[in-house]
């Protein structure tokens, strides 16, 4: 073998050995990179490559650095997500994100407003109310939607808006909604009070002179006693005078609806107030065969309110139950998780029709033949002055429940 052959053979062997080493090293690096990417994809970052090895130490340091940068970025993203999540949970607007009906996210306000601890699909809203489900299904970026439904605290109204977004490559619908029950009730109350003031002013301006004039004429016609037509004239004037005074008294009762005095608040035990209320209604209740009970689920409930005004509300509710032919009125009180005092007044009398339920707090509305229609409206005004609420929570063949909440 010539010297050239020997050199070429040695060179070929060296190249072959070097190529094998490079292939082996590359394969090992590829395995490490694949392992690292798989681990990072699974969220596992507890690995670390040995940087002290003579062979591959530099590569290991580079891979560890990549892992460190990813871990830092991931930690910052998670921290931002937690921050935004906490921020969204503190806003009063309900936020719901859904994809083809499947709910991806809801914030605390959404769950609280809907009264659900969790929501997986908007179909679940059918269990609350069919119209509520339809409102969430149909709301879009081109128009707002409204929905009303009942929960344990009564009727609730919400206003919904929506926008279509692309998040993580998915086309989703972001629905925001607000509880506008209080706002609607307040606007309705303001409108009714304005109408009452206008009507009573006009009626009083018209009727008062008629009442005064008819009374004066009744006295003056006494001088015509015994003459033809005297008795008919006197009777007619007396009827006009009596009817006018009755109308003035009637109008004054409605005028009082717009003059609810500010509450004079003091601290008192609810149990003591209930004893007074039950004593005041005992005769009427017993005469109608109605049993009235008070149950305090939380001991020694202290209320800061106008005692007389709250007594007025409770007495009115008990009298309404008696007129609805109830045989039992049960009043329960407790303190809920929000530290609010909650009073439920339940009776087993005639239920309130679905059509009437939405109007019972409207001034002048009544289902009773001799009712004035101001009792519940006045009660709602009193509760609003106490920064509380009164709602019809339930009314069916078994039970009718009114709920008072003092926040």
SS3 string, 361-395, reads: CCCCCCCCCCCCCCHHHHHHHHHHHCCEEEEEEEE
Burial of 191-221, coded b for 16+ CB within 10 Å and e otherwise, reads: ebbeebeeebeebeeebeeebeebbebbeeb
Residue (of 279, 260, 274) closest to 344 by Cα position: 274
Please report the pLDDT score of residue 292 as a whole number. 95
| Residues paired with 145 in a beta bridge | 160
Q: Which CATH number does 266-406 carry?
A: 3.30.565.10
Average pLDDT, the chain: 78
CATH 3.30.450.20 fits 91-179, yes or no: yes
Please report the pLDDT score of residue 290 as a whole number. 94
Q: Is the pLDDT of residue 58 over 50?
A: yes
- Pick the residue with more confidence: 15 or 187? 187
| Average pLDDT rounded to a whole number, residues 139-164 | 78
Give the range with max mean pLDDT: 249-253, 332-336, 383-387.
332-336
Residue (of 367, 369, 373) closest to 395 by Cα position: 367
- Pick the residue with more confidence: 402 or 9? 402
Domain ranges (residues) in the chain: 3-87, 91-179, 186-258, 266-406
CB atoms within 10 A of CB 180: 15
Q: Is the pLDDT of residue 151 over 50?
A: yes
Task: List the 154-167 sheet strands across, edge first.
Answer: 102-106, 94-99, 170-179, 154-167, 145-151
- Among 154-158, 215-219, 273-277, 359-363, where is mean pLDDT lowest? 215-219
Where does 144-269 have alpha helices with state H? 181-220, 230-255
The fraction of the chain above a pLDDT of 90, given in percent, is 23
Please report the pLDDT score of residue 256 as a whole number. 58
pLDDT band at 8 (very low <50, low <70, confident <90, very high): very low
| Average pLDDT rounded to a whole number, residues 108-136 | 86
Q: Is the pLDDT of residue 79 over 90?
A: no
- What value does the CA radius of gyration of the chain take, rounded to a whole number of Å? 39
Burial of 76-103, coded b for 16+ CB within 10 Å and e otherwise, reads: eeeeeeeeeeeebeeeeebbbbbeeeeb
pLDDT band at 189 (very low <50, low <70, confident <90, very high): low
Q: Using an 8 Å Cβ cutoff, are 354 and 317 in contact? A: no
Here the tokens at position 280 are 């005041």
What's the pTM value of the predicted model, to 2 decimals?
0.50
Instruction: Give the model confidence (pLDDT) of 276-293 as tens digits.
Output: 999 999 999 999 999 999
Q: Is the pLDDT of residue 11 over 60?
A: no
- Pick the residue with more confidence: 256 or 357? 357
- Among 166-170, 188-192, 216-220, 268-272, where is mean pLDDT lowest? 188-192
3-class DSSP state of 275: helix
Residue 294, CB-side half-sphere exposure with 13 Å CA sphere:
20
3-class DSSP state of 167: strand
């Amino acid at each position: 073998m010539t010297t050239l052959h020997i050199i070429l053979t040695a060179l070929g062997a060296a190249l072959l050995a070097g190529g094998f080493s490079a292939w082996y090293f590359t394969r090992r690096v590829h395995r490490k990179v694949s392992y690292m990417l798989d681990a990072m994809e699974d969220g596992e970052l507890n690995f670390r490559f040995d940087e002290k090895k003579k062979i591959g130490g530099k590569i290991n340091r580079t891979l560890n650095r990549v892992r460190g940068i990813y871990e830092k970025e991931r930690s910052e993203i998670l921290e931002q997500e937690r921050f935004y999540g906490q921020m969204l949970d503190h806003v009063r607007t309900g936020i719901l994100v859904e994809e083809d009906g499947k709910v991806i996210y809801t914030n605390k306000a959404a769950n609280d407003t809907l009264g659900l601890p969790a929501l997986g699909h908007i179909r679940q809203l059918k269990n609350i109310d069919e119209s509520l489900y339809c409102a969430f299904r149909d709301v879009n970026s081109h128009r707002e939607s409204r929905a009303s439904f009942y929960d344990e605290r009564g009727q609730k109204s919400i206003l919904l808006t929506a926008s279509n977004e692309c998040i993580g490559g998915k086309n989703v619908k972001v629905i925001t909604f607000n509880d506008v029950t209080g706002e609607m009730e307040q606007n309705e109350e303001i409108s009714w009070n304005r109408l009452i003031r206008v009507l009573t002013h006009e009626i009083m301006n018209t009727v008062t002179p008629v009442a005064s004039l008819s009374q004066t004429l009744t006295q003056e016609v006494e001088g015509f006693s015994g003459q033809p037509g005297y008795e008919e004239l006197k009777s007619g004037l007396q009827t006009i005078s009596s009817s006018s005074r009755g109308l003035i008294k009637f109008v004054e009762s409605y005028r009082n609806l717009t003059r609810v005095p500010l509450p004079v608040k003091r601290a008192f035990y609810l149990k003591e107030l209930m004893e007074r209320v039950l004593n005041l209604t005992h005769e009427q209740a017993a005469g109608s065969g109605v049993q009235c009970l008070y149950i305090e689920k939380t001991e020694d409930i202290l209320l800061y309110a106008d005692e007389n005004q709250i007594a007025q509300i409770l007495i009115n509710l008990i009298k309404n139950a008696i007129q609805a032919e109830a045989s039992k009125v049960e009043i329960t009180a407790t303190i809920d998780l929000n530290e609010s005092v909650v009073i439920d007044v339940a009776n087993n009398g005639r239920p309130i029709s679905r059509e009437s339920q939405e109007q019972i707090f409207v001034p002048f509305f009544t289902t009773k033949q001799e009712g004035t229609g101001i009792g519940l409206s006045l009660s709602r005004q009193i509760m609003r002055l106490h920064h509380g609420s009164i709602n019809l929570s339930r009314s069916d063949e078994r039970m009718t429940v009114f709920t008072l909440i003092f926040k």
